[in-house]
Amino acid sequence: MQQVILHRMQGHGLMLLTESLKKMKVALSMIQKGLDNETIAELTELTQGEIEQLRRQ
């Protein structure tokens, strides 16, 4: 998850970082509930790669 956070931090302000962290928290919840990557990506605007990194954590 740290790599995803660092990737999101590049070129973004604190407000966008906070938004990204909220999206990741939501995505983790969705992963735990068994949602597929495509659905999570559509609802959170995270990339497939970011979601896969979260799944590996």
Structure confidence by residue, pLDDT tens digits, 21-43: 899 999 999 999 999 999 999 99
- In which band, very low, low, confident or very high, does the pLDDT at 50 lie, cut at 50, 70 and 90? very high
Residue 19 to residue 10: CA distance in whole angstroms: 14
- Domain that residue 9 falls in: 2-56
The residue ranges of DSSP E strands in the chain, in sequence order, are none
Cβ atoms of 7 and 47 closer than 8 Å: no
Q: What is the mean pLDDT of residues 13-27?
A: 79
Structural domain tally of the chain?
1
